[in-house]
Structures are given as structure tokens and as C-alpha cells.
């Protein structure tokens, strides 16, 4: 077979783009070289429907071992009783949980997408809003904090079967205990989607949902710094409250319902090469290096937020507890779309984002979301945050000056040379 230079050249260009630019997309990161190497391995050839020790195909004795290592390590990371490492993504992890605990038409209550929520928490354009009956809580207009009073009021009024917490553009910690209290009152289950802050939770830098939330899901590629994928976790396994029984007539445990929901419920063969890469990444999470990394994320985010505030940028909620911040650009008279597109030309990558109570469409938006996990992986510290804020501000304050934008782009490329990425690929 002839080497496909067309596609390999594009992969090479993407490597150069990642090396030369400043990556501020809050949901992206750079995996370690060993995780990267493992994402392209021969386990991609293997069918392994089922779970370790109980597969529908022969020849699974080796992938059984990598999958079991991934399960054991992530359980150790979060000190939890159960893990399913097969979801192909965070969306699949959430789909499996909803499939396990709900029937079509059941009510769910999640954070509104336009207030910082996730697509799979009931958005009307997503399966979660089409198959189930979605209701939403938001954030307060004044402080931009989760409106727990509204959540409680809606929970009591609507009586959803599942309350979902977790966000994709929210910079503050969560009060999981308060959500569990109202869930207990109305007999609902609580699912926490910790895709964004998972790495900080793993290291005890943010509240842990495990004590209070029945089910926890996450992606593996954001702060957890693994390959793209999802996981489902239970702090403590429990008998399913719907009375579902196994063929012997015993009430199934929730872990069993979730396993069945992932496979054969919504997925077929697991991506065993990616599960091997997850196993390696989960091993890294247990290291001292990762602990230092997680602490640096928080320090960098706080340093960056402070500098933006000094330059009169309006950060929703006034600051950050985690790895990201959401900036409302209306006082600068710039849309999120224009900011994203212009910064992109200066090799600074981030995404436009709706801000709470936004008056612009999701394609335009009034804000930008900025995250520091990727630049922290590149080796940046608090002093580098100052340089980045300066460069970003120069672009935004000279948004129609192509010469200035080009010159910031050149500075970005020069600045990034000191942060070596994947030297083994040269």
C-alpha cells in the first residue's frame, strides 16, 4: 500500500500548529508521549465486546489485562468502587447513564447549555433533550453562580427522576451536598459530570462529588490529560432503585445496569487501543508529577484571571476556582465570534462562548472561554500568564489592525519555541 502522504502531511501540519500556538481551549490538553504512542497501537485491531473475563470473542486475554489495569487505576485515583472505562466519549458516558436509569419521556433537570451547561444534559438539539423531558436551572444574573435556590424550586415542582450537575463553562466549585439533599427529598438520582474539573477533583483541589452524587461521569482528555474518551464511576455501588432483576431474580446492582447500558446498550466493541492509553494516563494521574501539574493549573488560572480583571475584562463570577474562566466582552464591544477568529489569526486558540443571559446567538456570542490545562502541560507558570494576557489584550484592543495582529502572531510563535512539544516526532 502506498503511504498516504496527503493525510500524513496534514497530521504533520497539525503538529506544527499545536507546537507554535497558544492553546487556551479549556477542554483540550496535550497527552504525554507515552499516551500518544499508545493511541496508535495494534489493539485497534481487536474486537472485545463484553468486559474483562466475559467477552464474546476469543483472543481477549491480553486486552483483558490492559482494560483491568485501566479500571483498577481510575478506581484508585478517585477512591471509588466501580469504573467503566469503555465509553468512547463523554457524550457516550452520559448517554449510557441516561439509558441505564431513565425511560424515554422521563424528566431530567440539568444546567442550561446557555448558562454554561453541557450539550448532553438535556439540550433540545441533543439526544438527551429529544428522548427525555428536559428542564433546566441556571446561574444568578448578579453573581453568575449556580442558582441553587432555583434548582431546588424546580426540583420540587418538576420532580425529575435525575438531577444532573456539572458544566462546560463554569469557573466555580459545586455544592454537591445541597443538590443531594433536594434529590433525597423528591426521590431523584444525582449524576455529576466532572469532565472539566476531574483532574482537580482527583487531587482534592475541589469538592468531591463521590460522597453525594450517585453516579459520576467524565471525559478522559480534558484536565485528566488522557486520550479522547469517557468513563463512568460509582463512589459506592448500590441496588438499582427501579427493581430491575438479573436472570436469577436478584436485584441488579447499579454497576450491572451501567455495564449493560454501555455494552450492549449503546456501544459495540470497545476501543481497546484507547483503553490501553487510558490505562497509561490513569497511571500518570497517580504520580507526584501530576499532583504538581494540577496545583499549577489552579495557580495559573487564578493568576490569569487576576490580570484580566486588572485590564477591566468582565470575568463571570469575578474569578475562578478551577482551570477556566468565562469572559463577557460586551464592555469591550467585541463579539465572541470576532474575538475567536481574530485571535486565531495570531495563533491564540480559544472558543467563543455564550455568557449567561447572552443577547447574541450561539454562533456569535458575547464571550470567550479560556482554560489553562494545555498551556500548563506545556510548562507555563504564573509569570507566563502575564505574557499571554498582554498578547491577547493587544489583539482584542487592535481587533481591526491586521499589522498588529500579524506581529502578535509572530511573537506567539517565538514565545512558544521554549515549550518543547513531542520532540520524538522530529
The one catalytic residue among 222, 252, 278, 369: 222
**Minimum CB–partner distance for residue 376 and ligand DSN (Å):** 17
Is the Cβ of residue 315 or residue 408 nearer to ligand DSN in the bound state?
A: 315
Is the Cβ of residue 28 or residue 401 nearer to ligand DSN in the bound state?
A: 28
118 sits near ligand DSN (criterion: CB under 6 A):
yes
Residue 86: count other Cβ atoms within 10 Å of its Cβ: 30
**Minimum CB–partner distance for residue 256 and ligand DSN (Å):** 28
Closest CA to 399 of 334, 318, 355, 319: 334
Helix (DSSP H) and strand (DSSP E) numbers for the chain: 15, 15
The count of C-alpha atoms lying within 13 angstroms of the C-alpha of 227, restricted to the half-sphere facing its C-beta, is 25
Per the annotation, the verdict on 47 as an active-site residue is yes
The one catalytic residue among 66, 219, 342, 365: 219
Spell 225-236 as b/e; 16+ CB within 10 A means b.
bbbbbbbbbbbe
366 sits near ligand DSN (criterion: CB under 6 A):
no
**Minimum CB–partner distance for residue 206 and ligand DSN (Å):** 16
> Among residues 19, 27, 93, 128, which is the contact residue for ligand DSN, using CB under 6 A?
27
**Minimum CB–partner distance for residue 37 and ligand DSN (Å):** 25
**Minimum CB–partner distance for residue 91 and ligand DSN (Å):** 8
Closest CA to 348 of 20, 11, 16, 13: 20
Contacts (CB under 6 A) with ligand DSN, residues 171-200 = 195
Gap between the Cα atoms of 304 and 325, Å rounded: 9
Distances from the Cα of 219 to the Cαs of 228, 303, 374, in angstroms?
Answer: 7, 26, 15
Q: Which residues pair with 134 in a beta bridge?
A: 108
Per the annotation, the verdict on 337 as an active-site residue is no
Per the annotation, the verdict on 147 as an active-site residue is no
* Burial class of residue 43 (count of CB atoms within 10 Å of its CB; 0-12, 13-18, 19+): buried
The one catalytic residue among 75, 159, 178, 228: 228
Per the annotation, the verdict on 64 as an active-site residue is no
Binding mask 137-176 for ligand DSN (x = CB under 6 A): -------------------------------x--------
- Per DSSP, the three-state class of 189 is strand
Per the annotation, the verdict on 342 as an active-site residue is no
Per the annotation, the verdict on 152 as an active-site residue is no
Q: Please identify every residue annotated as catalytic.
A: 47, 49, 193, 219, 222, 228
Instruction: Return residues touching ligand DSN (CB under 6 A).
Output: 27, 118-119, 168, 195
Amino acid at each position: 500500500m502506498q503511504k498516504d502522504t496527503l493525510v500524513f502531511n496534514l497530521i504533520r501540519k497539525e503538529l506544527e500548529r499545536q507546537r507554535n500556538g497558544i492553546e487556551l481551549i479549556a477542554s483540550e490538553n496535550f497527552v504525554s508521549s507515552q499516551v500518544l504512542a499508545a493511541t496508535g497501537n495494534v489493539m485497534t485491531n481487536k474486537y472485545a465486546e463484553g468486559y474483562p473475563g466475559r467477552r464474546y470473542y476469543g483472543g481477549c486475554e491480553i486486552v483483558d489485562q490492559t482494560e483491568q489495569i485501566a479500571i483498577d487505576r481510575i478506581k484508585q485515583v478517585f477512591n471509588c468502587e466501580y469504573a467503566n472505562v469503555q465509553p468512547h466519549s463523554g457524550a457516550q458516558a452520559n448517554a449510557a447513564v441516561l439509558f441505564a436509569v431513565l425511560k424515554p419521556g422521563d424528566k431530567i433537570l440539568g444546567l442550561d447549555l446557555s448558562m454554561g451547561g453541557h450539550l448532553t444534559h438535556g439540550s433540545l438539539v441533543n439526544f438527551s433533550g429529544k428522548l427525555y423531558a428536559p428542564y433546566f436551572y441556571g446561574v444568578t444574573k448578579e453573581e453568575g453562580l449556580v442558582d441553587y435556590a432555583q434548582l431546588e424550586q424546580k426540583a420540587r415542582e418538576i420532580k425529575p427522576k435525575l438531577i444532573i450537575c456539572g458544566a462546560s463553562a463554569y469557573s466555580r466549585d459545586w455544592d454537591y451536598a445541597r443538590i443531594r439533599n433536594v434529590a433525597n427529598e423528591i426521590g431523584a438520582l444525582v449524576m455529576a459530570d466532572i469532565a472539566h474539573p476531574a483532574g482537580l477533583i482527583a487531587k482534592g483541589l475541589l469538592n468531591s462529588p463521590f460522597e453525594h452524587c450517585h453516579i459520576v461521569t467524565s471525559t478522559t482528555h480534558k484536565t485528566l490529560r488522557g486520550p479522547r474518551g469517557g468513563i463512568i464511576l460509582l463512589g459506592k455501588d448500590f441496588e438499582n432503585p427501579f427493581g430491575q432483576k438479573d436472570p436469577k431474580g436478584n436485584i441488579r446492582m447499579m454497576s450491572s445496569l451501567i455495564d449493560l447500558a454501555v455494552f450492549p446498550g449503546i456501544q459495540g466493541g470497545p476501543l481497546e487501543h484507547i483503553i490501553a492509553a487510558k490505562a497509561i494516563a490513569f497511571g500518570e494521574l497517580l504520580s507526584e508529577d501530576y499532583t504538581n501539574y494540577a496545583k499549577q493549573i489552579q495557580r495559573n488560572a487564578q493568576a490569569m484571571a487576576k490580570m484580566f480583571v486588572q485590564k477591566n475584562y468582565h470575568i463571570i463570577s469575578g474569578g475562578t476556582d478551577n482551570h477556566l474562566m468565562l469572559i463577557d466582552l460586551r464592555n469591550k464591544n467585541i463579539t465572541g465570534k470576532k474575538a475567536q477568529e481574530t485571535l486565531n489569526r495570531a495563533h491564540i486558540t480559544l472558543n467563543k462562548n455564550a455568557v449567561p443571559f447572552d443577547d447574541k446567538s450561539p454562533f456569535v456570542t458575547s464571550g470567550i472561554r479560556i482554560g489553562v490545562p494545555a498551556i500548563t502541560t506545556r510548562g507555563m507558570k504564573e509569570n507566563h500568564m502575564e505574557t499571554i494576557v498582554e498578547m491577547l489584550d493587544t489583539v482584542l484592543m487592535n481587533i481591526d489592525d491586521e499589522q498588529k495582529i500579524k506581529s502578535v502572531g509572530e511573537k506567539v510563535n517565538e514565545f512558544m519555541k521554549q515549550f518543547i512539544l513531542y520532540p520524538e516526532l522530529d
